[in-house]
Structure 1
Amino acid sequence: MEKVAIVVVTYKRQQLLERLLESFSQMTTAPWRIIVVDNENSPETAEVVKRYQKRLEQGETACRWADSADSVVYESQVENTGGSGGFYAGMKRAYELGADWFWLMDDDVVVLPDALEKLSKWMPNHGVVQGSRLDYDGGPFYWQYRFLSALGIYNPIASAKFDSAGCKPTNTACFEGGLFRRDVVEQVGLPDKRFFIYWDDCVYGYLASKVTDSVVVSDVILQRSREVKNWEVTGVRQLNSSSDMTRFYIMRNRGYMARYLMLYGDYNPVGFALGTILSFAKEFIRLLTVDRASFGSGAKRLVAGWKESRKLIHDPSWEPMPNLK
């Protein structure tokens, strides 16, 4: 197994982080490093990581860790930089340490014991591997794995089925379990921390798909550990509850998305405008069906984010994230 660094971003959820770290202890193949990025800069989180490091040093794991004394790296942020900034900082640290692979995840999942064995069979031939997940209740979790660049949205009707090999191509990614090879990270750079939250992983996966073969596989590697209110649309597809802050960034960050699409000649002004309308409509439906109590404030944040996205699209000072080569 090459040097696999797990990069975890956490914020004010020490109990969930403890559950995730415990799942690492049950893994039958140990990772090379665990980078915990603390966006809260919290003494409580630092203590959670310290206790876990001590357990590793005492050998309280399902398998032997080669460098247990240095296996866990605590990366505290001075301010909350969101998931985007957290993954930027964590991947930067892992890259500087010499990681060959970057396995990204939030703090509200747990890893299945044989996850790395499942991923390892795909790693020789693919630069990005996205494993499958279980939802909080143990059922399958549907991930929209096709990005429609002409519209700037996920394909909501992409088939949930896999081929006979248990694999299908993807042109996007998710920071909830996405695995990225070092040379891919070198070519596309680190995640764009300006996104703060939302669309960051979608765009990063889009950029990665331009330089490597990216796949989503049927092997289940994670399970969500936090229950989220949702509305089941059909089958495994569902609309989850959101927040006013997320609603703002869903719309605002389409400005950043448009700039990256322009780099590769995939930006269609008419199609992208239609995709923006569809994104707004989806969030409006979410407010009507799942988050009715936040309807007034939520609608205002959607409009505010849309206005900000227009400024970003026309910002003459914008530059893409630099590559690391």
Structure 2
Amino acid sequence: MPRIVAVVVTFNRLGLLQKLVDRLGEIDGLGEVLVVDNASSDGTGEWLDVRGHTGEIPLRSRTLTTNRGGAGGFHDGLAWAIDREADLVWLMDDDGLPDPDCLERLLEEADNLDFWGPLVVDEADPSRLVFPIRLPGGTRVVHAVEDVRKAAKDDRIDGIVIPFNGVLVTKELVDRIGLPREEFFIWGDDHEYRLRAEEAGARVATVVTATVRHPSVGNLGTPMMFGRTTYNDSPSDLKHYCMARNNLVNLRDYRGPLHAAAFVVKTAWFYTFTRPSLARLRLSLRAMRAGIAGDYEGHRRYLS
């Protein structure tokens, strides 16, 4: 058996973290659980300090001195797991809850894949996906678990994965492509890591028999341009700033300047016609300029 280390990144969600840690203690095959605490202020660090095991599995934790976001947390956590001689690293946020057989189902594909994960379903309605999947080879986006499973071949959807929600990554792939971009803070770091993995020739897939349950995030994307497309408009200035900056950088680096320019036009349209807001348009342009300039400190002004 490979040595499998789970890495959990958490921030101010102690109740959810406790539930997840208890579940990980019930899962066979784990060698260790590592928790990276992003300087939580809700007692998370204190709870972790006195928790040395979950079930029979060793539990170790680090509380960072400042909140470095999901990107910084997974950057540090993945490096920590590799230093602790992990062959496979199981990456997850604190708000997901893998089914008891999730790891077992994922490991059935261990010889065939390099970067793979489960379906992420709505905890209140497990027949629905939390994050809709665009099926490979077309434009069809599916929301129902049944539709994904019908489209699967050999219980897999190749070329698609939803990181970092219960995904497995091999040490060999980490050695090849490095760690997540810690400077992204939130939003887009997981997508960039998947793009980097694909560019390196990694075998990527979603295993449709494996499941992680996750709170609903509502409808992703507001319709715009007469319903022809959608735009991710978050009420949080922090999330929107990071989305605008990091998405532009990802498009520029992986799809080219024309796609990046199209995203700028799409943003301008959205905040001019779809949901007019001069303040949000200025925020978007400030974030995009920062991304082009390689400035990854501007989001800190929006941290509470």
Higher strand proportion (structure 1 or 2): 2
2:39 is the alignment partner of 1:40: yes
For residue 73 of structure 1, what is the aligned residue in structure 2? Answer: 60
Distance 1:42 1:272 in 2: 37
Decide whether the 8 Å contact of 2:233 with 2:240 is kept in 1.
no
**Aligned partner of 2:140: which letter?**
I
Distance 1:309 1:75, change over 3 A: same
Q: Which moved more, 1:138-147 or 1:97-106?
A: 138-147
Could you list the per-position Cα deviations for residues 184-243 of structure 1 after superposition, in whole angstroms to 9, with x for gaps in the alignment? Answer: 11111110011000011001001011221111121232101x454547999xx9x89652
For residue 118 of structure 1, what is the aligned residue in structure 2? Answer: 105
2:136 is the alignment partner of 1:137: no
For residue 31 of structure 1, what is the aligned residue in structure 2? Answer: 30
Decide whether the 8 Å contact of 1:145 with 1:216 is kept in 2.
no
2:239 is the alignment partner of 1:252: no
Distance 1:284 1:17 in 2: 40
Q: Which moved more, 1:169-178 or 1:308-317?
A: 308-317
2:290 is the alignment partner of 1:307: no
1:66-215 aligned at under 5 Å gives the runs 68=57, 71-139=58-126, 140-144=128-132, 157-158=140-141, 161=148, 162-170=151-159, 173-211=162-200, 212-215=202-205
Q: TM-score, normalised by structure 2?
A: 0.79
Distance 1:138 1:187, change over 3 A: same
For residue 261 of structure 2, what is the aligned residue in structure 1? Answer: 273
For residue 20 of structure 2, what is the aligned residue in structure 1? Answer: 20
**Aligned partner of 2:173: which letter?**
V
* Deviation at residue 307 of structure 1 after TM alignment: 3.0
Distance 1:43 1:303, change over 3 A: closer
SS of corresponding position for 2:186: coil
Distance 1:255 1:119 in 2: 32
Distance 2:249 2:113 in 1: 27
Distance 1:114 1:315, change over 3 A: closer
Decide whether the 8 Å contact of 2:92 with 2:167 is kept in 1.
yes
* Deviation at residue 280 of structure 1 after TM alignment: 6.5
Q: Which moved more, 1:158-167 or 1:127-136?
A: 158-167
Distance 1:15 1:142, change over 3 A: closer
Decide whether the 8 Å contact of 1:131 with 1:219 is kept in 2.
yes
RMSD over aligned Cα, in angstroms?
A: 3.5
For residue 49 of structure 1, what is the aligned residue in structure 2? Answer: 48
Distance 2:29 2:288 in 1: 42
Distance 2:271 2:73 in 1: 25
Distance 1:173 1:300 in 2: 32
Distance 1:186 1:23 in 2: 29
* Deviation at residue 163 of structure 1 after TM alignment: 2.5
* Deviation at residue 157 of structure 1 after TM alignment: 3.5
Distance 2:188 2:220 in 1: 21
Decide whether the 8 Å contact of 2:160 with 2:206 is kept in 1.
no
**Aligned partner of 1:189: which letter?**
G
2:236 is the alignment partner of 1:243: yes
Distance 2:217 2:253 in 1: 31
**Aligned partner of 1:73: which letter?**
R
| Alignment gaps of 5+ in structure 2 | 224-229, 297-304
Distance 1:310 1:137, change over 3 A: same
Distance 2:9 2:86 in 1: 17
Distance 1:184 1:252, change over 3 A: same
* Deviation at residue 282 of structure 1 after TM alignment: 7.0
* Deviation at residue 167 of structure 1 after TM alignment: 1.0
Decide whether the 8 Å contact of 2:26 with 2:100 is kept in 1.
yes
SS of corresponding position for 1:251: helix
* Deviation at residue 2 of structure 1 after TM alignment: 1.0
Could you list the per-position Cα deviations for residues 51-108 of structure 1 after superposition, in whole angstroms to 9, with x for gaps in the alignment? Answer: 5425x4xxxx4xxx4xx4xx21101111000000011111111111111112111111
2:218 is the alignment partner of 1:219: no
